[in-house]
Amino acid sequence: MKILVTGSSGFIGSHLTEYLVKRGYKVVAFDRYNSNNHYGWLEKSKYKKKIKFILGDIRDYDSVNKAMKGCQHVMHLAALIGIPYSYISPTAYLKTNVEGTLNVLESAKNLNLKQVIVTSTSEVYGTAIKKKLSENDELKAQSPYAASKIAADQLSLSYYRSFGLPVKIIRPFNTFGPRQSARAVIPTIITQALLKNKIKIGNLNATRDFLYVEDLCLAYEEVLKSNKLFGEVVNVGVDSEISIKDLILKISKILKIKLIPVVEKQRIRPQKSEVFRLKCDNKKIKNTTNWKPKYKIDKGLIKLIEWIKEDNNIENYKSDKYNI
């Protein structure tokens, strides 16, 4: 079984690519062309020789179609994901997230792929108005990023309904782990905490359902194997929420350092754009697959902290700057 992974050099994509190789799948890793022929987080992977790399542009149908030839399945992760940057360049998000997904769907249709797994995001729900968010809840775009992902999801489902394309949509909640950029809240807190005790942060009261990246990789494989999820959306989260304030306290206890949060105005989203609460209803994936999370947040945080401390990984972060 040969699988194309788009966005393979990024945070989640690199973990998923390595996971699939370890599980015995043949993997084609597709990521953005660069003149240095650099493979991002997979550049130094011990599985590098077992991976076929193709560099192109998700926004270009020809390069996507060429990369997909010979594959039976595609896991589509390539996207622009930073919410603050979507305020600055919404057009880039539409071109990458919507047109890029269109290129994947159209190529898969024309090449008769057996399965297309499209990556969504919990941000499409907006602020939860009830305790948990299920796949049937209303979609509410509170940022250009979320709007682009809703459009990509709906386009994917339209290809299933219109052309019978074997599409599944996996909707992760807030994933964290090694290799994640400083634009995400957990590495932002940890990298600052390892250098000083004052943590520059945005909204302290927002809550999130944090999912460790290894658990998400397992979910991709379970969704891949399922015969029940074609034309469906499936949430992936741990059914637990924690506020950013309590997250800082938890990291403080793990590091044994007293951390002082300092709210910075520039880090706060516009009031109507802020998603204040996200908690996953994960009954669907548990009822239709054998998936269940192995990591509680403390275990994941400890692994991430250890990774950041290793081999001077902290030098890759500019913790004194606000990363958008």
Query: Per-block average pLDDT, block size 10, for the chain (324 residues)?
Result: 97 98 98 96 97 98 98 98 96 98 98 98 92 96 98 98 98 98 94 95 97 98 97 98 98 97 94 96 98 97 95 80 83
Question: Do 266 and 81 form a contact (C-beta atoms < 8 A)?
Answer: no
Query: Are residue 223 and residue 80 in the same domain, yes or no?
Result: yes
The DSSP element (H or E) to which 244 belongs, if any, is helix 244-255
Domain enclosing residue 302, as ranges: 178-208+241-276+296-316
- What are the E-state strand segments in 132-263? 167-172, 174-176, 198-201, 207-208, 210-212, 232-236, 242-243, 260-263
Instruction: Please give the backbone phi and psi of residue 241, each rounded to the nearest 5 degrees, phi first.
Output: -130, 150
Q: Provide the pLDDT for residue 131.
A: 87
Query: Are residue 7 and residue 36 in the same domain, yes or no?
Result: yes
Q: Provide the pLDDT for residue 323.
A: 80
Query: Are residue 217 and residue 72 in the same domain, yes or no?
Result: yes
Query: Are residue 307 and residue 185 in the same domain, yes or no?
Result: yes
Q: Which residues contact 162 (CB under 8 A, 6 or more apart)?
A: none
Residue 155 in domain: yes
Residue 112 in domain: yes
Query: Are residue 70 and residue 216 in the same domain, yes or no?
Result: yes
Domain count for the chain, please give it: 2
Query: Are residue 84 and residue 215 in the same domain, yes or no?
Result: yes
CB count within 10 Å of CB 212 equals: 23
CATH number of the CATH domain containing 49:
3.40.50.720
Strand pairing of 51-56 and 210-212?
Answer: unpaired
Question: Do 316 and 178 form a contact (C-beta atoms < 8 A)?
Answer: no
Q: Provide the pLDDT for residue 130.
A: 79
Q: Which residues contact 125 (CB under 8 A, 6 or more apart)?
A: 133, 137, 138, 139, 140, 275, 278
Query: Are residue 138 and residue 250 in the same domain, yes or no?
Result: no
Query: Are residue 87 and residue 110 in the same domain, yes or no?
Result: yes
Query: Are residue 36 and residue 114 in the same domain, yes or no?
Result: yes
Q: Provide the pLDDT for residue 117.
A: 99
Using alpha carbons, list the distances in angstroms from residue 294 to 108, 247, 297: 33, 19, 10
Residue 282 in domain: no
Residue 199 in domain: yes
Q: Provide the pLDDT for residue 220.
A: 98
Instruction: Write out the DSSP string of 203-217.
Output: -SS-EE-EEEHHHHH
Strand pairing of 210-212 and 174-176?
Answer: parallel
Query: Are residue 113 and residue 197 in the same domain, yes or no?
Result: no
Q: Provide the pLDDT for residue 24.
A: 98
Q: Provide the pLDDT for residue 324.
A: 83
Residue 285 in domain: no
Query: Are residue 58 and residue 75 in the same domain, yes or no?
Result: yes
Residue 284 in domain: no
pTM over 0.95: yes
Residue 322 in domain: no
What span, in angstroms and rounded, lies between the C-alpha atoms of 93 and 79? 8
Q: Which residues contact 94 (CB under 8 A, 6 or more apart)?
A: 144, 148, 151
Residue 75 in domain: yes
Q: Provide the pLDDT for residue 242.
A: 98
Q: Provide the pLDDT for residue 58.
A: 98
Query: Are residue 38 and residue 127 in the same domain, yes or no?
Result: yes
Q: Provide the pLDDT for residue 158.
A: 98
